[in-house]
């Protein structure tokens, strides 16, 4: 089972200025950039933050969530976060166990 994921920081620019994303889980820097680049937003930097430890947990409100330790900071990734689907694919066994746990707790 996977225990780590690659994380990236993406710097973008548009007509309103320049900003940098928080850590983004992705297979590569180009995949991370694809989350943000549009006709109006230009990706100007893709920084690799390293392979970081990821753990899975379940909550009754958010379902299966991932917690990644990036740069010493623990960050939660729920289904509304950029890169969540990548984490679901990478940690598919842990995700399935979380779904089973939720189903058992709620008698689905």
3-state DSSP assignment of residue 4: strand
pLDDT in tens, the chain (108 residues): 679 999 999 999 999 999 999 999 999 999 999 999 999 999 999 999 999 999 999 988 889 999 999 999 999 999 999 999 999 999 999 988 988 888 777 665
pTM above 0.85, yes or no: yes
| Beta carbons of 52 and 69 less than 8 angstroms apart | yes
pLDDT in the model for residue 107? 66
The domain spans of the chain are 4-106
| Residue 39 per-residue DSSP state | S
Please give the backbone phi and psi of residue 46, each rounded to the nearest 5 degrees, phi first: -130, 105
Is the Cα torsion angle 50, 45, 75, 79 positive or negative in sign? negative
């Amino acid at each position: 089972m996977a225990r780590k994921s690659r994380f990236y920081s993406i710097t973008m620019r548009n007509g309103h200025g320049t900003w940098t994303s928080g850590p983004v889980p992705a297979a590569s820097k180009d995949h991370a950039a694809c989350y943000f680049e549009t006709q109006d937003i230009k990706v100007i930097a893709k920084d690799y933050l390293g392979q970081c430890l990821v753990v899975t947990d379940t909550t009754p409100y958010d379902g299966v969530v991932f917690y990644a330790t990036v740069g010493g900071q623990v960050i939660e990734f729920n289904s509304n976060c950029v890169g969540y689907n990548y984490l679901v694919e990478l940690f598919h066994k842990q995700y399935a166990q979380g779904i089973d746990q939720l189903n058992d707790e709620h008698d689905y």
